[in-house]
């Protein structure tokens, strides 16, 4: 026994070094087969760093290489997980209460709610506050244009659209508001606060939420892929900074990983007690205890390769990142690249997670056939159309649902009266049996979903502990509206073009280009809708792709302003057309045609209104 221990102590460092060398070689090979100019890969286990790689370039035009000690890079939404540490520090300092109404900290309410329950810090830290999603104007190109955190929270905070504490819906502004609360009660600017309570105590001396110009000279430039290859992006300033503006170095992220994985390390540094660290990393909210996944205090829980993982991903134009902890293995890693592309990150994740043994405490496939739950409720009650709750409801960027960028939709159906069907991401359907009043399990792989019932009606579908879908009325389905908008635009384009051509032919033939009164109304309706389409098309064609990726983060270009006003003129002439149909004598065929134009205009306008493509929803 003693001999075995001695042999392990002698050869273990050599084995670890060999594994590290092998991983380094694999990382180098993966890096060559991806588009990002530069990357950071850190792998920590049992208090030791097995990998700290910074391959590639921080800036291609300068030929500047990555420096693990000095090169700053964005971590995107990984900022949220770091923000949680600082906010909970304020909780332990008795400056914040997890369950107090956040409006109680302000003379003027921060959140105006139409719901009975107040918004609390616990809701903000678990993405359950119920905020709408909003993207327009959340970033600035220059420091001078940037809003302070206080200004951003006071002027850009979205409306509440769901009751607090009931449904998880990822929210940048909710996370940012938690940081603003910490700033407000501490009477200290947010970046300085985080430096004081977190970064300096952990020795993260180059990490900040507000880099100065000298620090930005060392920044890992972000890039975007376009037809000409890689295009460099200037550093911009994110207004909801606690949710995504942290910059750090490889060495600093190594320190943070070790502090998060080592028991009592945060406590020893005076940052958080061990009890609060464990509470932060434990599941604080899940839609159903039998579903996979959940959320701690801004730390996500998931299962991967038989392991329980706690962490966060980050993505913004010019950056993508991932910070994962695997507590059962006392391991964790951080990966970042300077392009918003997760292909390298996903492959590195597979590589690193593949080195971990799947032991007794890991999550294995121990499922058995599901036990059916029976009552009189038909399975058809759970069939329907559903939309992911994370999408913009009250602003112009709701069109992202139409484009498939957000608000994913899916449909559940019924098979043989007893099975519920749910689409798989890549192909055929799950066949699911009911195993509880609101719980279903797949016969094929044990995957589980749950539903929410309110006043006898099924209102939500939960596909994981944090992913929620709201029930749609059949008239809200995106495919229907895609057809309506496509048909309407083509219909009015053809009418406007046809009437213009008719008038041009008559003028060319030296005939007076006269239209009937109803014809002029129809031409006006079609003309204004067509002008709106042309302005919209011009707006999208002239807006850089990276601005579209962040939902008009710098504001909506002026071309969209007339695009959303012109439909009002069209509906005005639609009313005029209705009056003329009713009052003027016309042939039956003419009235039928005019009535068709009227009907299409009304339906088209209603669809535009539903998607916030009419009016000043900026």
pLDDT digits (tens, 9 = 90+) for 324-368: 999 999 999 999 999 999 999 999 999 999 999 876 555 555 567
Which two three-digit tokens encode residue 157?
Answer: 């905070």
Give the per-residue pLDDT at 576: 97
- Which residue's entry shows tokens 């996979």? 292
**How far is the CA of 251 from the CAs of 43, 72, 205, 256, 512, in angstroms?**
12, 10, 10, 9, 79
Which two three-digit tokens encode residue 312?
Answer: 């966060």
DSSP 389: S
Give the per-residue pLDDT at 62: 95
Q: Do the beta carbons of residue 154 and residue 107 sit within 8 Å? A: no
pTM of the model: 0.92
How many alpha carbons fall within 13 Å on the CB side of residue 180?
25
Q: Do the beta carbons of residue 433 and residue 440 sit within 8 Å? A: yes
Calpha distance 539→557 (Å, rounded): 7
CB within 8 Å of 414: residues ≥ 6 apart: 379, 380, 383, 420, 421
Q: Do the beta carbons of residue 461 and residue 453 sit within 8 Å? A: no
Of 286, 239, 287, 285, the residue nearest 134 (C-alpha): 239
Query: What sign results for the dihedral spanned by CA atoms 366, 367, 368, 373?
Result: positive
CB atoms within 10 A of CB 266: 23
DSSP 197: I
Calpha distance 313→319 (Å, rounded): 11
β-bridge mates for residue 512, sequence order: none
Angle at 268 between CA 262 and CA 273, to 5 degrees: 80
CB atoms within 10 A of CB 29: 11
Calpha distance 397→506 (Å, rounded): 43
Calpha distance 33→375 (Å, rounded): 54
Burial string for 226-259 (b: 16+ CB within 10 Å, else e) reads eeeebeebebbbbbbbbbbbbbbbbbbbbbbbbb
Q: Do the beta carbons of residue 433 and residue 414 sit within 8 Å? A: no
β-bridge mates for residue 446, sequence order: none
β-bridge mates for residue 68, sequence order: none
107: three-class secondary structure by DSSP: coil
- Which residue's entry shows tokens 């384009």? 493
Q: Which helix (H) or strand (E) holds 460?
A: strand 457-462
CB atoms within 10 A of CB 350: 12
CB within 8 Å of 476: residues ≥ 6 apart: 385, 387, 610
Give the per-residue pLDDT at 359: 61
Q: Which helix (H) or strand (E) holds 496?
A: helix 478-508
Calpha distance 341→35 (Å, rounded): 8
**Furthest CA-CA distance within the chain:** 110
pLDDT less than 70: residues of the chain: 1-19, 359-367, 509-514
Q: Do the beta carbons of residue 329 and residue 44 sit within 8 Å? A: no
Question: For 72-120, where are the alpha helices, taking DSSP H only?
Answer: 78-92
Calpha distance 395→136 (Å, rounded): 8
Of 372, 362, 308, 313, the residue nearest 337 (C-alpha): 313
Strand 64-65 to strand 73-74: parallel, antiparallel, or no bridges (unpaired)? unpaired
Q: Do the beta carbons of residue 450 and residue 291 sit within 8 Å? A: yes
β-bridge mates for residue 182, sequence order: none
Q: Which helix (H) or strand (E) holds 230?
A: strand 229-233
DSSP 383: -
Calpha distance 176→173 (Å, rounded): 5
Give the per-residue pLDDT at 15: 43
Q: Do the beta carbons of residue 421 and residue 413 sit within 8 Å? A: yes
Calpha distance 25→53 (Å, rounded): 10
Give the per-residue pLDDT at 426: 76
Q: Which helix (H) or strand (E) holds 537?
A: helix 517-542
How many alpha carbons fall within 13 Å on the CB side of residue 61?
7
Q: Do the beta carbons of residue 439 and residue 376 sit within 8 Å? A: no
């Amino acid at each position: 026994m003693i001999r075995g221990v001695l042999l392990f102590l002698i050869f273990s460092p050599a084995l670890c070094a060999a594994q590290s060398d092998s991983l380094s070689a694999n990382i180098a090979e993966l890096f060559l087969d991806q588009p990002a100019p530069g990357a950071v890969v850190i792998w920590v286990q049992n208090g030791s760093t097995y990998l700290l790689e910074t391959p590639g370039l921080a800036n291609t035009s300068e030929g500047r290489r990555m420096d693990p000690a000095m090169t700053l890079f964005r971590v995107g939404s990984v900022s949220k997980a770091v923000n949680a540490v600082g906010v909970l520090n304020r909780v332990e300092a008795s400056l914040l209460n997890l369950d107090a109404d956040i409006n109680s900290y302000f003379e003027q309410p921060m959140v105006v709610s139409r719901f009975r329950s107040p918004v609390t810090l616990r809701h903000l830290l678990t993405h359950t506050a119920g905020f709408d999603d909003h993207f327009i104007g959340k970033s600035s190109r220059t420091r001078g244009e940037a809003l302070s955190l206080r200004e951003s929270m006071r002027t850009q905070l979205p409306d509440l659209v769901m009751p607090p504490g009931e449904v998880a819906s990822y929210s940048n502004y909710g996370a940012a508001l938690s940081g603003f609360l910490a700033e407000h009660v501490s009477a200290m600017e947010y970046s300085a606060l985080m430096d004081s309570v977190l970064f300096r105590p952990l020795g993260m001396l180059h990490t900040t939420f507000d880099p100065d110009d000298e620090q930005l000279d060392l920044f890992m430039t972000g890039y975007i892929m376009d037809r000409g290859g890689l295009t460099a992006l200037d550093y911009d300033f994110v207004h909801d900074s606690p949710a995504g503006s942290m910059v750090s170095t490889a060495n600093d992220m190594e320190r943070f990983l070790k502090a998060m994985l080592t028991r009592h390390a945060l406590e020893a540094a005076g940052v958080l007690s061990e009890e609060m660290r464990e509470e932060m990393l434990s599941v604080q909210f899940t839609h159903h205890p039998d579903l996979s996944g959940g959320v701690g205090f801004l730390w996500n829980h998931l299962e991967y390769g038989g392991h329980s993982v706690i962490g966060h991903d980050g993505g913004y134009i010019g950056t993508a990142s991932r910070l994962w902890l695997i507590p059962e293995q006392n391991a964790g890693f951080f990966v970042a690249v300077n392009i918003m592309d997760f292909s390298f990150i996903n492959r590195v994740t597979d590589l690193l997670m593949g080195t971990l043994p799947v032991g007794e405490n890991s999550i294995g496939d121990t499922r058995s056939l599901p036990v059916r739950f029976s009552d009189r409720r038909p399975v058809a009650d759970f069939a329907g159309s559903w939309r992911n709750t994370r999408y913009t409801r009250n602003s112009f960027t709701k069109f992202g649902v139409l484009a498939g960028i957000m608000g994913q939709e899916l449909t559940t159906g019924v098979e043989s009266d007893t099975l519920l069907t749910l689409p798989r991401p890549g192909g055929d359907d799950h066949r699911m049996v009911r195993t509880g009043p609101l719980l279903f399990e797949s016969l094929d792989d044990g995957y589980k979903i749950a539903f929410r019932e309110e006043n006898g009606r099924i209102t939500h579908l939960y596909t994981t502990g944090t992913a929620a879908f709201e029930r749609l009325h059949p008239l809200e389905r995106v495919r229907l509206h895609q057809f309506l908008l496509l048909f309407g635009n083509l219909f009015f384009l053809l009418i406007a073009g046809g009437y213009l051509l008719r008038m041009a032919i008559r003028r060319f033939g030296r005939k007076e280009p006269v239209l009937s009164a109803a014809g002029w109304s129809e031409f006006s309706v079609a003309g204004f809708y067509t002008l709106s389409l042309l302005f919209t098309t011009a707006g999208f064609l002239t807006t850089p792709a990276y601005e579209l990726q962040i939902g008009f983060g710098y504001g909506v270009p002026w071309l969209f302003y007339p695009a959303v006003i012109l439909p009002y003129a069209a509906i005005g002439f639609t009313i005029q057309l209705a009056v003329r149909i009713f009052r003027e004598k016309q042939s039956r065929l003419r009235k039928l045609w005019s009535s068709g134009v009227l009907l299409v205009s009304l339906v088209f306008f209603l669809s535009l209104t539903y998607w916030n493509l009419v009016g000043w929803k900026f």
